[in-house]
Structure 1
Amino acid sequence: MLSAVRAAVEAGELAVAVPESTTVERPKNREHGDYATNIALQLAKPAKRAPREIAELLAARIAQVPGIAKVDVAGPGFLNITVDTAAQGELARAIVDAGADYGSNNAFDGLKINLEFVSANPTGPIHIGGVRWAAVGDSLGRILRASGADVTTEYYINDAGVQIDKFGKSLMAAANKRPVPEDGYVGAYINDIAADILAEHPDVLGMDEALQEKIFRATGLRLMVAEIQRSMENFGAHFDVWFSETTLHASGAVEKAIERLREQGHVYDDNGAIWLRTTDYGDDKDRVLIKSDGEKTYFASDAAYYLNKRDRGNEVAVYMLGADHHGYVGRLKAIVACAGDDPEHNIEVIVGQFVKMMRAGEEVRMSKRAGNIITIDDVVEWIGVDAARYSLARSSTDSTITLDIDILTSHKNENPVFYVQYAHARMSSVERKAAERGIVKGEFKPELLSTEWESDLLGMLGEFPRVVAKAAEMREPHHVARYLEQLAGTYHRFYDHCQILPKGEEAVTDLTYARMWLAEAAKTVVANGLALLGVSAPERM
């Protein structure tokens, strides 16, 4: 489409800047062609010409493109494009040939992105909010890589500060059979970890209090992080880097960051404390970096951590935060601006909403092991990894979601992950049944894929690269999930109306082969889409 505009401009037929992008859609009414675009209306104002006049000019050029059967100008200047049946059918061959690469694009080639997600305090198991970020974040990393980006996925271990001290003291109290300290941590997992520490350090209770606390803090932190890593691995969420906050302090990175920001002119001293002037960049108040008693704040670590990400060569730092951290957006962007970077480019903060789980019509709130929170292991036990990952990634992070355990464990079409996986299994059955009957996929004649159901399926398959690119651009994996559900429905309609394999003694024909190619193409796309969401594509169900 844009090439036609470019050609018209180069030929002097249009005086306008060629846009970077335009909208091309599949019309709901197939009488309006295979594709429709409003490019002429988009160009009318800058070109200072009537949109219908521009549409007619472009239609003449597009009609000369091989594979285009017809171009109609409708209404004030819409272009309705009909693709030649053989040209449209060739897509099936292209998809099968591309295999796992189909859907990939180069929209973000060369862009180095640091994608940080989950990053919960290592003071307990990952809770349901973190599970959502594990599903969305890992899927987003896969989608960005499929769009050409160089992505580093990262988990920030908040292993410094007061909460870790409380965690260590809670473990120590549990081991000594004493009451948990005020604002300490409770739950069966505390007793479990305390028991593991006693097994590893059998003489610890005979040591003085200070040494006991040190051992319980350090060993408990190591065991808790190891458990989080195990849970993430079991969930299929991979992190390239597990970054320790403590290393920022031990290496002097926090002090260096403060000095760098001071050199930028944004750090000042007041009442014995050291501040960052974040109000210059839209924050609601300036932030303390070092308190008057010399204690460094979490905000100082945040500043050092951002600079560390940039020093490692990352052009864009993406933070995925829970709804209870919404207030961090302004201050994080202020850090970026104070560092001399562009807060509209070098940082992106995605804030996600909460998750509820229901069973038998009632909300589930409790975990067997962690008390009053639902953990990642609970979710996996109740509905499985595939259902959890898919259902958590299929909704916009802007919306609060409710997971119904009864629905997500059912083999019914109302279960979205079952619906999509069943479509893949149905596609796989075509290959399996063909092999059982000795039918080998033969010469492909794309012009035979001429029914409306075949055309609809080809049209849906052709949308996949655009959907992946959109999901990457918008940082929203749910576009892939929703697309897969539409594709599954389109395939089921094709399967119900178009006989693929011959019945009984019927002969194998060229149409048999053409539809086998199409079924394999559909299977490829569903498998690729599920892989982007970290969900399996079963051959049988």
Structure 2
Amino acid sequence: MKERIVEIVEDFLKEHKQEVNYTIEYPKEEKFGDYSTNMAMILASKLKRNPKEIAKEFVDFALNKSDGLFEKIEIAGPGFINFYINRSAFSQQLRNIACDVEAYLKPQLKSTKKIQVEFVSANPTGPLHVGHGRGAAIGDSIARILSFCGYKVEKEYYINDAGLQMQLLGLSTLVRYKQLLGIDEALPEEGYKGEYLIDIAKQLIVEYGENLLNKDEDEAIQICAKKAGDTILNDIMETLREFRVEYDKVFNEKKLYENKEIEESISLLKQKGALYEEGGALWFRSSQFGDDKDRVIRRSNGAYTYFASDVAYHRNKFLKRNFSEVIDVWGSDHHGYVKRVKAAIEAMGIDPERLKVVLVQIVNLLKGGEKISMSTRKAQFVELRDVMKEVGVDAARFMFLSRSIDSHLDFDLDLAKKQSNENPVYYVQYAHARISSILEQLNEGVDKNADTSLLKEKEEIDLIKSIIRFKELLEKACIQTEPYFVVKGLLDLAEKLHRFYNKHRVIIEDENLKRARVLLVWVVREVLRTGLNLIGVEAKNKM
């Protein structure tokens, strides 16, 4: 229906030989119709005409073009145009949707893009915390949504396993190993202080006894780093699998060194004239590409920076694996890194718009109304696995997505455990379960040829509107890579279902109306199931 309104508006603008950026939105109040546009006001400022005159001209034009779609079109305020859809159009639309619900929901984007979504990618230096959990829920849901919408999507985890952090991990583990053997040695100030390293050090004692004490310290650190890194990475991947996240590929930073890809990337940047030497270091001219200053890519001691690895990694994504588009999901603390990576991509001759960086804002955990204090530096954080154990995977994933990506999230653990309508995930899952319970009571199946024109009650029409709106929100979620829009659509649909359920019975004596209502709630259940799957939450049949 929105698409039809767009067509009519575009036809009107073509007749006036104009192009303007207008919006078509849902009015905040029901009395202002089903859709509203500001087109007349935008066009008026361009044509230097009265917006109400343009609106009146458009109303006559639209009513002639609409083939009975509109019950009426009204002009409001300074020139808003409000569309009231004919109720029979909604019931007819339900029949069309019921033919193939999934096909109806899929946006008609007609793209063959090959997209990579890289997310979480936490250094294997400690267990995943709640911040990683939000990034995992967002990244995985973005990939699910894009795949549903027809894109070829590959999910990737990038392991930073070649830098100073791994050396610090190895040293910290070695110190824990020595402490367990009775040697009094303090952890390095910048080292890792988490208790999890004690368990890894115990495993090293089982494997090596005291033999690591007799080895060269550098060798001992490397042994400890590998053991700790492998153990932690296995734990990370197991946690993510429990969180319903599966990757298509795991990429090791070490491969960039082993395959000489860092040298190749530097050679390419040199060919493009994007590097210079100063003070013995090699610098990238990132300020020429929108960054606030130039960046060191190789230090004066010959060691490559983390930035060098990132340049090579993104060259690999675009020029070696030929992804049409890359979506990196990073923590908000990486916001300063976006410009320099995009600058390097542009310097290598790649359109920087092909890289989209999604910055995930922080999570505050609340319990008993109080914020839980967390600090990764002091190893004081709540592990993702602990949150899953406390509230369940469904609640955790849903709550992580319950605010837009660029908003901070207050995750109320007590709310997430409630078996009531206050808990948003329970509210949506209960809507699905309610419909499943109704359908279980039927002796016959769903009649897709039911007479939907019998659906005239406000709550019935509101449900159909909510289905249509869910499709629009899903397309928005795909285009803007924002899973929150799916959550928003699910909550709206659940609310309309509960409101309908509390006022009307489905299984009634009027056979024709019963079949129409059964078809309606069946379509709602299919939409709820699809939406929940897109965010990795189970669609429950019983609660």
The verdict on a shared fold, with TM-score over 0.5 as the criterion, is yes
Q: Kindly state the Cα deviation for residue 73 of structure 1 after the two structures are TM-superposed.
A: 3.6
Q: How many residues align?
A: 527
* One-letter amino acid of the structure 1 residue matched with residue 23 of structure 2: T
Q: Does 1:484 align with 2:490?
A: yes
Q: Secondary structure at the match of 1:269?
A: strand
Is the counterpart of residue 194 in structure 1 residue 188 in structure 2? no
Aligned partner of 2:271 in structure 1 is 263
Q: Does the Cα contact within 8 Å between 1:62 and 1:68 map onto a contact in 2?
A: no
Match of 1:530 among 529, 532, 541: 532
Letter in 2 for 1:65: S
Report the secondary structure of 1:239's partner residue: coil
* 1:119-158 correspondence runs (5 A): 119-158=121-160
TM-superposed deviation, 1:66: 4.1
Instruction: Give a deviation string over 1:461-504, Cα, whole Å, max 9, x none.
Output: 101121012122222211221222122111111111222112xx
Task: Kindly state the Cα deviation for residue 535 of structure 1 after the two structures are TM-superposed.
Answer: 0.8
Deviation at 1:107, TM superposition (A): 3.4
Aligned CA-pair RMSD = 2.5
Aligned CA distance change for structure 1 residues 360 and 28 (closer, same or farther; 3 Å): closer
Question: Which residue of 429, 441, 448 maps to 2:446?
Answer: 441
Which has the higher mean CA deviation after the structures are superposed, 212-221 or 240-249? 212-221
Distance 1:191 1:100, change over 3 A: farther
- Describe the SS at the equivalent of 1:327: helix
Distance 1:33 1:401 in 2: 33
Shift in Å, 1:69: 4.3
Aligned partners of 1:117 and 1:321 also within 8 Å: yes
In the alignment, residue 392 of structure 1 is paired with which amino acid? F
Correspondence 1:372 to 2:380: yes
1:419 Cα deviation after fit: 1.2
SS of match in other structure, 2:291: coil
Match of 2:258 in 1: 250
Rounded Cα–Cα distance in structure 2 between residues aligned with 1:50 and 1:231: 61
Greater mean alpha carbon deviation, residues 218-227 or residues 294-303: 218-227
Q: Does the C-alpha gap of structure 1 residues 292 and 441 become closer, same or farther in structure 2, counting only changes over 3 Å?
A: closer
Among 166, 187, 197, the alignment partner of 1:181 is 187
Mapped partners of 1:214, 1:69: distance in 2: 72
Distance verdict in 2 for CA 1:342–1:427, change over 3 Å = same
- Structure 1 position 285 matched with structure 2 position 301: no
Using the alignment, how far apart are the partners of 1:70 and 1:363 within structure 2? 51
C-alpha offsets along residues 268-308 of structure 1, whole Å, 9 cap, x if unaligned? 11121111011222323211111111111111111111111
Give distance in 1, aligned partners of 2:70 and 2:335.
52
Q: Residues 438-466 of structure 1, C-alpha deviation per residue, up to 9 Å, x if partnerless?
A: 25434411111111111111111101121
**Secondary structure of residue in 2 paired with 1:326:** helix
What is the CA-CA distance between 1:359 and the residue it aligns to?
Answer: 1.8
Q: What does the per-residue CA deviation read over 1:33-78, in whole Å, with 9 as the maximum and x for residues that have no partner?
A: 4333333334445566654454445444543434514332413544
| Cα distance in 2 between the residues matched to 1:41 and 1:260 | 51
* Mapped partners of 1:350, 1:119: distance in 2: 13
- Is 1:337 the equivalent of 2:346? yes
User: Relative to 1, partners in 2 of residues 1:108 and 1:317: Cα closer, same or farther, differing over 3 Å?
Assistant: farther
SS at match of 2:441: helix
Partners of 1:446 and 1:48 in 2: how far apart? 46
Separation of aligned partners in 1, 2:119 and 2:209: 36
Q: Which amino acid aligns with 2:396?
A: A
Trace 1:294-373 onto structure 2 (pairs within 5 A). Answer: 294-311=302-319, 312-343=321-352, 345-365=353-373, 371-373=379-381
Measure the CA separation in 2 of the matches of 1:224 and 1:180.
Answer: 22
Matched, 1:237 2:245: yes
Moved more, 174-183 or 247-256: 174-183
The structure-2 alpha-carbon separation of the partners of 1:305 and 1:53, relative to structure 1 and needing over 3 Å to count, comes to same
Corresponding residue of 2:166: 164
Q: Secondary structure of 1:468's match?
A: helix
d(CA) in 1 for partners of 2:397 and 2:263?
Answer: 40
Cα distance between partner residues in 1 of 2:263 and 2:119 = 25
Alpha-carbon separation, structure 2, partners of 1:201 and 1:58? 82
What's 2:39 paired with?
39
Change (3 A) 1:96 1:189: farther
Deviation at 1:234, TM superposition (A): 0.8
Please give the per-residue CA displacement for 1:359-402, whole angstroms capped at 9, x wherever unaligned.
223333479xx951211111111211111111011112222222
- 1:288 and 1:426, CA in 2 relative to 1: closer, same or farther beyond 3 A? same
Structure 1: runs of 5 or more not aligned: none
Matching residue's letter, 2:365: M
Report the AA paired with residue 37 of structure 1. Answer: T
Classify 1:45/1:215 alpha carbon distance in 2 versus 1 (closer, same or farther; 3 Å).
Answer: same
> Is 1:27–2:27 an aligned residue pair?
yes
CA distance in 2, matches of 1:9, 1:38: 13
- For the residue of structure 2 that corresponds to 1:15, the secondary structure is coil
TM norm structure 1: 0.90
TM-score where L is the length of structure 2: 0.90
Report the CA distance between 1:206 and its aligned residue: 6.9
Conserved? CA contact 1:71–1:82, under 8 Å: yes
**CA spacing shift, 1:213–1:304, aligned 2, 3 Å:** same
Could you tell me how far apart the structure 2 residues matched to 1:26 and 1:204 are?
Answer: 71
The answer to whether the 8 Å contact 1:52/1:73 transfers is no
After TM superposition, which residue ranges in structure 1, 4 or more long, deviate above 6 angstroms?
Answer: none
- 2 CA distance for matches of 1:446 and 1:34? 20
CA contact (8 A) 1:457 1:490 kept: yes
The answer for the alignment partner of 2:420 in structure 1 is 412
Q: Is 1:500–2:506 an aligned residue pair?
A: yes
Q: SS state of the match for residue 218, structure 1? A: helix
How far did 1:161 drift?
0.9
In 1, the alpha carbon distance for the partners of 2:32 and 2:292 equals: 52
Q: Which deviates the most, 518-527 or 45-54? A: 45-54
Separation in 1, partners of 2:324, 2:38: 34
CA distance in structure 2 between the aligned counterparts of 1:296 and 1:336, rounded to whole angstroms: 18
On the 8 A contact 1:180/1:186 being kept in 2, the answer is: no
Relative to structure 1, the CA distance from residue 36 to residue 285 in structure 2 (aligned partners, 3 Å threshold; closer, same or farther) is closer
Provide the residue aligned with 1:458 in structure 2.
Answer: 464
Kindly provide the CA deviation profile for residues 140-159 of structure 1, in whole angstroms up to 9, marking residues without a partner as x: 12222233333222211000
- Report the CA distance shift for 1:309/1:418 in structure 2 as closer, same or farther (over 3 A): same
Whether the 8 Å contact between 2:126 and 2:194 is mirrored in structure 1 is no
**Distance verdict in 2 for CA 1:331–1:57, change over 3 Å:** same
The equivalent residue for 1:429 is 437
| Amino acid corresponding to residue 192 of structure 1 in structure 2 | D
* Unmatched segments (≥5 aa) in structure 2: none
For the 8 Å contact 1:359–1:404, the answer to whether it is kept is yes
